[in-house]
Structure 1
Amino acid sequence: MEVMEITHKITGGIYLVLDPARPLPLLLQKLEAALKGEINVVQIWNNWNADTDKLTLIEAIGSLCRQYNVPLFINEEWQLLTETLYLDGVHFDTIPKGYNLIKETVKRPFMAGITCSGDLDTVAWADENQLDYVSFCAMFPSPSAGSCSIVMPAIVKKAHESTLLPIFVSGGITPQNIIALKEKTPFDGVAVISGILSADDPQQQVQTYKDALSINP
């Protein structure tokens, strides 16, 4: 396997999470529209149909992401990094066991981020292990946030004071509540699923999110 250097740097912006259980043609159509809107990161959520050919789906999504120079992450299943170069990184839901062994097993540079929920110890772990970002879920009630507990803005603010890593917030994020949330805590980006993928015009919806992120409270 050809070893590739990491060429992306995550600083914030719009982080789009894809549901691989959706029909692939529609998913790719929505993704391309969002990419045209200049999203910053894409993740494939760990929500597979039983009969899905994961590597074929990853290649289809990864090919699109490469056209727009956007990094592609896989949720949890870091082993897939050893099977395809279309993945740039992995997003962990919790602190993984044996992270150093994971890095040795993958045998190539990769990016990594983690969901912190309301746990500042996870932020400290991410900092110590030089991850690329942290994410807080969920800021608001959301069906796609699953088992995430609600995170208080004060926790995100404390995280911002303790790390220089980019901070994303997720769970029920809309352009409207971004502005209200920014009045309570700083953050660098938002992670979104249905807020963009369910829009009639994902490209325009991305711009609406970006406009909300650019407003200073």
Structure 2
Amino acid sequence: MRLKNNDLTLYAVTDRTWLNNRSLAQCVEQAIQGGVTLVQLREKQLEYTAFVELANEIKQVCHQYNVPLIINDNLEVAKACDADGIHIGQSDETLIEVRKNWSADKIYGVSTQTVKQAQKAQELGATYLGVGAVFPTSTKNDADDVSLTELANIVQAVQIPVCAIGGINQTNISKLYDTGIDGVALISEIFNQDDIKANAQQLTKLVEPFK
């Protein structure tokens, strides 16, 4: 499954911290039913076998709705479940190594914070960029702050799609409307909700300007 126009509009990044006794598959399905367009499975602590098992389960849900599944920072798991793509950070395996060891037609997302990083990622074959943190966030403590001016500069400097991430919620999302981004990636704003589907439906209305 390739990255399509508008796939980055409402990008859900998983975090099992917020499940409250619900299964991740249930939460992902509710998010997709509410309008989520892309899903990234992010598991920093799960061991390989359990990660692959979970990835296969989430992939089944995603593909039921024709939504691509991206695996965060684990090429072996991405290959094992035949995910649609992978997302890597600046400190993860280099993009050139990851692309060398996987299919050229997969989706390759890269985290960037500067114009220089963004241009290099595009040059090395990135499919899209995740830029942030654009607002303060407690979910990714290792994310550097990126000003809205720098975000807009990154958008102007590359030809591939760009999504913003980090501390984005319903109250501040409008501050991103003039940056030229293609969408937003959200974690707790999607999954830390009592009614994930209804909340995603509200978010879907708020991301219309990115389409």
**Same structural fold, with TM-score higher than 0.5 when normalized by the shorter chain:** yes
Q: 1:130, CA displacement in angstroms?
A: 3.0
Tell me if 1:56 matches 2:78.
no
Following TM superposition, by how much is the alpha carbon of 1:31 offset from its aligned partner in structure 2, in angstroms?
A: 0.9
Alignment equivalent of 1:212, drawn from 196, 206, 209: 206
- Which one-letter code corresponds to 2:157 in the other structure? S
| Structure 1 residues 52 and 201: CA distance shift in structure 2, 3 A | farther
Residue type of the alignment partner of 2:52? L
Q: Following TM superposition, by how much is the alpha carbon of 1:158 offset from its aligned partner in structure 2, in angstroms?
A: 0.7
1:165 aligns with 2:141: no
Task: Give how far 1:137 is off.
Answer: 1.5
1:81 and 1:106 in contact (8 A); partners too: no
Residue 110 (1) aligns with residue 106 (2): yes
Kindly provide the amino acid, as one letter, of the partner of residue 40 in structure 1.
Answer: T
- Structure 2 residue aligned with 1:46: 43
**Unpaired stretches in structure 2, ≥5 consecutive residues:** none
**Distance in 2 separating the partners of 1:181 and 1:96:** 27
Matches within 5 A, 1:29-178: 29-49=26-46, 53-85=50-82, 87-94=83-90, 99-107=95-103, 109-117=105-113, 119-178=114-173
Shift of residue 146 of structure 1? Answer: 1.7
Query: What amino acid maps onto 1:169 in structure 2?
Result: A
The residue type equivalent to 1:136 in the other structure is V
Counterparts of 1:88 and 1:10 in 2: how far apart (Å)?
Answer: 15
State TM-score, norm by structure 2.
Answer: 0.88
Number of aligned residues: 208
**5+ long unaligned stretches in structure 1:** 1-5
Q: Based on CA coordinates, which of the two structures has the bigger radius of gyration?
A: 1
Is the contact between residue 137 and residue 145 of structure 1 (CA under 8 Å) also seen in structure 2? no
Could you tell me the percent identity over the aligned residues? 25
Is the contact between residue 75 and residue 86 of structure 2 (CA under 8 Å) also seen in structure 1? yes
Q: Which letter does structure 2 place at the counterpart of 1:79? A: E
Q: Does 1:191 align with 2:188?
A: no
| Mean CA deviation greater in 98-107 or 187-196 | 98-107
Q: Is the 8 A contact 2:13 2:187 kept in 1?
A: yes
- CA distance in 2 between counterparts of 1:47 and 1:64 reads 21
8 Å Cα contact 1:138/1:148 also seen in 2: yes
Deviation of 1:140 after TM superposition, in Å, equals 1.1
Measure the CA separation in 1 of the matches of 2:177 and 2:146. Answer: 14
Query: 1:26, CA displacement in angstroms?
Result: 2.5
- Contact map agreement 1:15 1:189 (CA 8 A) in 2: yes
Q: Check conservation: 2:95, 2:121, Cα contact below 8 A.
A: no
Change (3 A) 1:108 1:127: closer
